């Protein structure tokens, strides 16, 4: 036997002995050890190795049997229990086809060091579940509340429908795209097309993604298994149970297209809305032996001359419907599974990230994952091999523009979002893309270039600092990271910088005074650090960005991440007085400090005065 889960063959046998001892000591009546053959015969699709059968006299005076079953991995994982001779599938919730009982949620944990107690506990839970099922109160409730699970058990096809729709009332017409191995449903043509172009790229030439009408049926309560539609007629009956208007929507879709209809069905289960899908089959072509192809749906009519009512009646006829699961890919679900109150606000936000280097790419990645709806990435440089070690892009992007590549990568991975790349420098951006900047909810500058960020700051102050700008950079070896958020009040960027862009507040002091390393080429400098050290810096900048979007401060703020003091000293550096004067205990380091970014009479702020005078 392989050494499974660290316990090995002997651990398995020991656990079995302990489990049997526990059963003998604590069960009030004898139990029976099942033979391997019995276990395999009763549960052929499972990998159970041993089993025990316990007779149980239930409250209805019927004796039922519970099997306790373990795999070779035991005592890792946990034993399963089964009801012997269960009722037909979908008669009782939490009982699978072969009688296996669903007792524990996915996140449950068991004490593998006490297998006997685990076995007893699960027998107790099984007995309780069976009694609750006999009483019956939970049967309808759980079938409704957990309807996604039971629809899955009843499903006819394994391919899931990917849904972009907002699963809320009312029933309505939607759109569907059917690919070779993927079916995607969206609210409308525009949303669906946006998603498909992002996900798969534009189609060549004049080709577009062909979409069709589909229906979304919102039910006042989730269906019971007895309501699950087997035929088209069942489907229209289910819609009618919700309302005449709902049924009319299904009929409309069928009547308009003379094709089979995808119906997404939504309802409120436990923990939120759930979606399932059913597809009619009445329009499937039938090929006869002589090569003749019959189209049963349009039989007797030309395509144009077929009355919609007849088309609908034929679609929702005795022909079978195919039930399938739905994978939600709508923005609210992707970002927080519909439970994060920040999601809707973030989806409405627009950011512009200037500088798609190591920091900019990773900050953008975090904000995109957080669900920022619209992102613009600005960078004139091409991606190169030395960038790979600490950048979101990889080898496939070498030689291509960073902004375009990041936008393409994120668009493909987050097709519901709007992400655009701009192959321009900061100066060109300020001169030609004022609307982009002005319409952003937040601008993030991670160029490390004073030429670019000084210019951006001048644009900012002259335009009244209406849009907050977050500047992010790292010090040598990523020993400290800075996130400076410039708001309407407080200092502008220049207020805390020298004329050549040296911050007045530096955290680390390096013995050699050198902050950079040269490449063997004219003027090419860089600072060596790795993706791991940089991660902390990226995080503090991304967190500041999120705060600026959701809960902006009243005035400019400065957040500094400090590496571990031991690491700093090992590199031959020390903390500056700036940091030590903040009064923090820096014995360990690895902390985030926050301070105001105060205003002072700086040349850039004077430009704002000039602009006001000019405006008068």
Partner 1 sequence: MDDGVYFMKADLVGDRGAEMTSLQARQMVRDAVDDGGFKRKPEVRPNCVRIFYEKGYHVDMPVYRKVEENGTTVYELASSSGWKRSDARDVTKWFDDARSNSNDGAQLRRLVREIKKFARSRTSWSGSILSGFGITALVVDCQRLNANREDRALYDTMKAVRDRLNYNLVVAHPVTPNDFITSGSDDAKARMLRDKLSQALTWLAPLFETDCTRSQALDCWDKVYNTTYFSERGEDEARAAASYAAPIATSAALIGLESYAGAAVSSSGGGRHA
Q: Are 372 and 346 in contact (CB under 8 A)?
A: yes
Following DSSP, what letter does each residue of 214-275 receive, concatenated? EEEEE-SSPPPGGGS-SBHHHHHHHHHHH-HHHHHHHHHHHHHHSS--EEEEEEEETTEEEE
Residues 6+ apart with CB under 8 A from 197: 209
Query: Does 160 contact partner 1 by CB under 8 A?
Result: no
What is the nearest approach in angstroms of partner 1 to the Cβ of residue 40? 22
Measured from the CB atom, is 124 or 386 closer to partner 1?
124
Measured from the CB atom, is 125 or 366 closer to partner 1?
125
Query: Does 271 contact partner 1 by CB under 8 A?
Result: no
Instruction: Determine the interface stretch with partner 1 among 6-14, 235-243, 496-504, 607-615 (rule: CB under 8 A).
Output: 6-14
Query: Does 20 contact partner 1 by CB under 8 A?
Result: yes
Pick the binder of partner 1 from 70, 95, 100, 122 (CB under 8 A). Answer: 122
What is the nearest approach in angstroms of partner 1 to the Cβ of residue 122? 7
Query: Does 135 contact partner 1 by CB under 8 A?
Result: no
Measured from the CB atom, is 38 or 132 closer to partner 1?
132
* Helix (H), strand (E), coil (C) string for 526-569: ECCCCHHHHHHHHHHHHHHHHHHHHCCCCECEEEEEEEEHHHHH
Three-class DSSP category at 412: helix
Measured from the CB atom, is 124 or 530 closer to partner 1?
124
Angle ∠(172,177,180) on CA atoms, nearest 5:
145
Query: Does 198 contact partner 1 by CB under 8 A?
Result: no
Instruction: Determine the interface stretch with partner 1 among 26-34, 417-425, 459-467, 579-587 (rule: CB under 8 A).
Output: 26-34
Measured from the CB atom, is 59 or 500 closer to partner 1?
59
Measured from the CB atom, is 26 or 203 closer to partner 1?
26
State the binding string over 79-108 for partner 1 (x if CB under 8 A, else -).
-------------------------xx-xx
User: How far apart (Å, rounded) are the C-alpha atoms in residues 428 and 299?
Assistant: 63
Neighbour-count burial for 469-481, b at 16+ CB within 10 Å, e otherwise? bbbbbbbbbbbbb
Residue with tokens 């990230």: 353
State the binding string over 289-328 for partner 1 (x if CB under 8 A, else -).
----------------------------------------
Query: Does 21 contact partner 1 by CB under 8 A?
Result: yes
Measured from the CB atom, is 27 or 398 closer to partner 1?
27
Residues 6+ apart with CB under 8 A from 79: 19, 68, 69, 70, 115, 118, 119, 122
Measured from the CB atom, is 125 or 172 closer to partner 1?
125
Q: How many residues bind partner 1 (CB under 8 A)?
A: 44
Pick the binder of partner 1 from 42, 120, 275, 278 (CB under 8 A). Answer: 120
**Burial (CB count within 10 angstroms: exposed 0-12, middle 13-18, buried 19+), residue 497:** buried
Measured from the CB atom, is 115 or 356 closer to partner 1?
115
What is the nearest approach in angstroms of partner 1 to the Cβ of residue 389? 25
Pick the binder of partner 1 from 6, 29, 299, 570 (CB under 8 A). Answer: 29
Tell me the CA distances in angstroms from 150 to 94, 134, 349, one per residue in order: 9, 19, 38
Q: Which helix or strand (DSSP H or E) is residue 570 part of?
A: helix 565-570
Query: What Rg, from alpha-carbon coordinates, does the chain have?
Result: 32
Measured from the CB atom, is 87 or 386 closer to partner 1?
87
In terms of residues, how long is the chain?
Answer: 616
Three-class DSSP category at 404: helix
Query: Does 28 contact partner 1 by CB under 8 A?
Result: yes
Query: Does 551 contact partner 1 by CB under 8 A?
Result: no
State the binding string over 48-77 for partner 1 (x if CB under 8 A, else -).
------xxxxxx---x--x-----------
The pairing of strands 63-71 and 48-57 is antiparallel
Query: Does 128 contact partner 1 by CB under 8 A?
Result: yes
Query: Does 204 contact partner 1 by CB under 8 A?
Result: no
State the binding string over 485-524 for partner 1 (x if CB under 8 A, else -).
----------------------------------------
Measured from the CB atom, is 84 or 455 closer to partner 1?
84
What is the nearest approach in angstroms of partner 1 to the Cβ of residue 124? 3
Pick the binder of partner 1 from 42, 110, 165, 262 (CB under 8 A). Answer: 110
Q: Are 187 and 150 in contact (CB under 8 A)?
A: no
| CB atoms inside a 10 Å sphere around CB 182 | 15
User: How far apart (Å, rounded) are the C-alpha atoms in residues 479 and 162?
Assistant: 44
Measured from the CB atom, is 55 or 382 closer to partner 1?
55
Measured from the CB atom, is 85 or 500 closer to partner 1?
85
CA 40 to chain CA centroid, Å, is: 39
Query: Does 571 contact partner 1 by CB under 8 A?
Result: no
Q: Are 66 and 126 in contact (CB under 8 A)?
A: yes
Measured from the CB atom, is 124 or 179 closer to partner 1?
124
Residues 6+ apart with CB under 8 A from 387: 357, 358, 393, 402
Measured from the CB atom, is 271 or 464 closer to partner 1?
271
Q: Are 282 and 315 in contact (CB under 8 A)?
A: yes
Pick the binder of partner 1 from 36, 111, 156, 466 (CB under 8 A). Answer: 111
**Burial (CB count within 10 angstroms: exposed 0-12, middle 13-18, buried 19+), residue 435:** exposed
What is the nearest approach in angstroms of partner 1 to the Cβ of residue 61? 10
End-to-end Cα distance, the chain: 87
What is the nearest approach in angstroms of partner 1 to the Cβ of residue 273? 23
Phi, psi for 3 (deg, rounded to 5): -80, 90
Query: Does 13 contact partner 1 by CB under 8 A?
Result: yes
What is the nearest approach in angstroms of partner 1 to the Cβ of residue 22? 8
User: How far apart (Å, rounded) are the C-alpha atoms in residues 247 and 307?
Assistant: 17
Measured from the CB atom, is 107 or 304 closer to partner 1?
107
Three-class DSSP category at 345: helix
What is the nearest approach in angstroms of partner 1 to the Cβ of residue 82? 14
Pick the binder of partner 1 from 102, 127, 169, 418 (CB under 8 A). Answer: 127
Angle ∠(6,11,17) on CA atoms, nearest 5:
155
Binding site for partner 1 (CB under 8 A): 10, 13-14, 16-17, 20-21, 24, 26-30, 54-59, 63, 66, 78, 104-105, 107-111, 114, 116-118, 120-128, 130-131
């Amino acid at each position: 036997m392989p050494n499974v889960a660290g316990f090995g063959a002997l651990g398995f046998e020991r656990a079995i002995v302990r489990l049997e001892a526990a059963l003998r000591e604590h069960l009030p009546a004898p139990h029976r050890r099942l033979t391997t053959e019995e276990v395999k015969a009763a549960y052929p699709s499972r990998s159970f190795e041993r089993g025990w059968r316990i007779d149980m006299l239930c409250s209805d005076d019927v004796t039922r049997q519970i099997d306790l079953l373990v795999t070779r991995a035991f005592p890792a994982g946990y034993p399963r229990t089964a009801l012997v001779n269960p009722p037909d599938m979908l008669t009782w919730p939490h009982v699978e086809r072969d009688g296996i009982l669903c007792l524990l949620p996915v996140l449950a944990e068991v004490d593998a060091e006490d297998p006997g107690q685990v076995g007893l506990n699960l027998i107790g839970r099984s007995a309780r579940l069976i009694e609750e099922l006999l009483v019956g109160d939970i049967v309808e409730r759980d079938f409704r509340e957990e309807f996604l699970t039971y629809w899955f058990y009843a499903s006819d096809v394994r391919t899931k429908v990917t849904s972009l729709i907002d699963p809320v009332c009312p029933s309505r017409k939607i759109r569907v795209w059917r690919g070779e191995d993927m079916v995607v449903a969206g609210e409308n043509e525009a949303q669906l097309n946006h998603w498909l172009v992002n996900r798969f790229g534009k189609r060549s030439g004049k080709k577009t993604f062909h979409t069709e009408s589909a229906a979304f049926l919102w039910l006042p309560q989730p269906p019971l298994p007895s309501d699950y539609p087997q035929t088209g007629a069942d489907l229209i009956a289910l819609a009618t149970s919700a309302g005449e208007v709902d049924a009319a929507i299904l009929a409309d879709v069928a009547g308009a297209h003379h094709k089979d209809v995808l119906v997404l069905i939504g309802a409120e289960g436990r923990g939120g809305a759930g979606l399932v899908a059913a597809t009619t089959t009445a329009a499937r072509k039938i090929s006869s032996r002589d090569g003749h192809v019959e189209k049963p749906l349009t039989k007797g009519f030309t395509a144009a001359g077929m009355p919609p009512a007849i088309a609908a009646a034929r679609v929702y006829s005795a022909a079978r419907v195919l039930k399938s699961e739905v994978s939600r890919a709508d923005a609210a679900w992707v970002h927080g599974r519909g439970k994060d109150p920040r999601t809707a606000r973030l989806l409405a936000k627009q950011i512009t990230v200037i500088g798609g280097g190591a920091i900019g790419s990773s900050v953008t990645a975090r904000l995109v994952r957080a669900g920022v709806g619209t992102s613009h990435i600005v960078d004139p440089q091409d991606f190169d091999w030395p960038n790979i070690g600490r950048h979101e892009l990889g080898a496939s992007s070498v030689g291509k523009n960073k902004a375009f590549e990041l936008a393409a990568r994120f668009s493909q991975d987050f097709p519901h979002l709007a992400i655009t790349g701009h192959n321009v420098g900061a100066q060109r951006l300020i001169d030609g893309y004022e609307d982009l900047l002005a319409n952003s909810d937040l601008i993030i500058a991670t160029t490390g270039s004073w030429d670019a960020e000084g210019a951006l700051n001048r644009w900012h102050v002259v335009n009244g600092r209406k849009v907050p700008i977050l500047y992010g950079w790292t010090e040598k070896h990523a020993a400290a990271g800075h996130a400076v958020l410039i708001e309407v009040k407080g200092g502008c960027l220049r207020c805390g910088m020298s004329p050549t862009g040296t911050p007045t507040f530096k955290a680390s002091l390096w013995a050699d005074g050198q902050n950079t390393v040269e490449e063997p080429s004219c003027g090419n400098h860089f600072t060596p650090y790795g993706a791991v050290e940089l991660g902390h810096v990226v995080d503090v900048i991304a967190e500041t960005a999120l705060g600026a979007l959701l809960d902006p401060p009243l005035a400019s703020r400065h957040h500094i991440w400090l590496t571990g003091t031991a690491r700093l000293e090992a590199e031959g550096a020390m903390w500056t007085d700036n940091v030590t004067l903040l009064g923090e205990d820096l014995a360990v380091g690895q902390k985030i400090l926050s301070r105001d970014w105060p205003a002072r009479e700086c040349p850039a702020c004077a430009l704002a005065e000039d602009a006001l005078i000019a405006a008068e």
